[in-house]
Amino acid sequence: MLASMLFCRIETYAQQQPAEKPQAKPVAQEQQGEAKAPRLPEDKPLGAAGPTKNRQKPRPEDADFMIIRDRWRVGIPEDPRFKEGDIKNPYRQNVLKGDYPVIGNSTFLNITLASESDFNVRRVPVPQDVSSQLPGSYEFFGRGRQESFNQNFVFSFDLFHGDTSYKPVDWRFKVTGIANLNLLKVRELGIVNIDVREGRSRLDGFNALEEMFFEYRLGDTTRLFPFLRGKGSRKGRSPFYDFTSIRLGVQPFTSDFRGFIFSDSNLGARLFGSFESNRWQYNLAYFEMLEKETNSGLNTVNFRDIGFRNQKVYIANIYRQDTFKLGYTTQFSLHYSDDRPTVEYDQNGFIVRPAKVGTVTPHRVRSGYFGWAGDGHFGRTNITHAFYQVIGRDSFNPIAKRGTRINAQMAAGEFSVDYDWLRYRIGAFYVGRFKSHRRYGARIRCDTRQSEFCRRQIQLLEFAEHPPDTDRGCAG
């Protein structure tokens, strides 16, 4: 009854309770010749709702209903199906995880505490340094067994305004901090640090802000961009909550379904929204790339320092749901990266940029990625695919020893079928290039950061006048 009345009036109403029920308390005494005054339930809300923020006393509206301005604290009768909440129990309703407002009736707070632990044992090819653990051995590679442990303690503070059941938030301020502890043990010297005196193990820690952004809903997309007005809009207002919002600060973003080109949390500005009943979604993003801390891989954003990588990234993409057939979403995207020449050594003494390949010289790489991707299902067959064409310019290719043009392709696809709780899937990945090295002079490789070869680069050459290095990213 209470839920049905929410659609009839702007404010929330509580129905009059019979006078003979023990849980009902009369608000005003019935006067002779007048209608009965409304009664309110005495039951407290389930959960740690906190004290009411509305100090106004309820006033009689008529003989049957009374306005309750604080609808979050309307009483709920006791029932075995409902459990009372506890502010210390995250599996029950409470005010600290967004179940009840903290300010007024529309401002919520969601606090998240998480622990992420990763233990990795691997064996990869490593070089035999001049100061190897077993000098004089005949093996080409050293002992490659490595053990690593990475621990993240995550704290997230999310303050937002608006009823998110049917529409996006009106505004949001979110901060996510991470305290990291990492341990690495290897079998050879010169891996954990350029200085072999550091031994074969390393224990390090770092604190960073992985998210710190403000989001604001600019309004209905149909009002901001009249040419996108869809069916049913009235005076520019969308009945389907088509929206346009802006987000500023350190924020996570993935540019396609699988994050082939860009998937990171970095400093930038993003304009995003939807139109035509949420069938189309779009993103326009700009990122000023931050340096990553060496051992934790987190952004160098903390209360002490901040480091910029001198790289700018521009991204535009658009999604369309139910393309060709219901259940299939297609996407088109455009990426542009301007990576300017820099020289960077990490905290362990290894050179990060430029990579030690061919002639080691700082150079500028400007590249554009044109992509088409899709994700969904056709009947029982699930499909995910992506294709990218890359063009650009490298001011000085370390192998060609001159400026070169970039022209290459990437394609990936995965098909799967579900049988009960099993999923059978098959996938393929392809990287192509033009055959004429003399004309184009260079090729690229996509960003496959999940590859084991991106965790540790094989060093085959060492120079006495230059320290050995590792490239923290894949070839580009």
Q: Could you tell me the two tokens for 129?
A: 């340094």
Amino acid at 213: F
User: What is the full DSSP assignment across 227-294?
Assistant: GG--TT-BTTB-TT--EEEEEEEEEEEESSSS-SS-EEEEEEEEEEEEETTTTEEEEEEEEEEEPBPT
Q: What is the structure's pLDDT at 357? A: 81
The class that CATH gives domain 107-454 is mainly beta
Asked if residues 37 and 30 have their Cβ atoms less than 8 Å apart, the reply is yes
Asked if residues 315 and 283 have their Cβ atoms less than 8 Å apart, the reply is yes
Strand partners, 291: none
Q: Could you tell me the two tokens for 245?
A: 């919002």
Q: What is the structure's pLDDT at 381? A: 93
Asked if residues 360 and 340 have their Cβ atoms less than 8 Å apart, the reply is no
Is residue 223 within a helix (H) or strand (E), and if so which, with residue range? helix 221-224
* Domain spans, the chain: 1-85, 107-454
pLDDT less than 50: residues of the chain: 1-33, 38, 40-41, 434-441, 444-455, 460-476
CA distance 418 to 334: 33
User: What is the full DSSP assignment across 101-159?
Assistant: -SBTTTEEEEEEEEEEEEEEEEE---B--TT-SSTT---SB---EEEEEEEEEEEEEEE
65 closest CA partner among 28, 24, 13: 13
Strands 441-442 and 402-419: parallel
260 closest CA partner among 70, 28, 448, 69: 448
Amino acid at 290: L
Q: Helical H runs in 388-460?
A: 437-440
Q: What is the structure's pLDDT at 106? A: 85
Q: What is the structure's pLDDT at 9? A: 39
Asked if residues 267 and 287 have their Cβ atoms less than 8 Å apart, the reply is yes
Q: What is the structure's pLDDT at 48? A: 60
Q: What is the structure's pLDDT at 167? A: 82
Q: Could you tell me the two tokens for 441?
A: 């002079």
pTM equals: 0.76
Helix, strand, coil shares, percent, the chain, to 5: 5, 45, 45
Asked if residues 391 and 340 have their Cβ atoms less than 8 Å apart, the reply is no
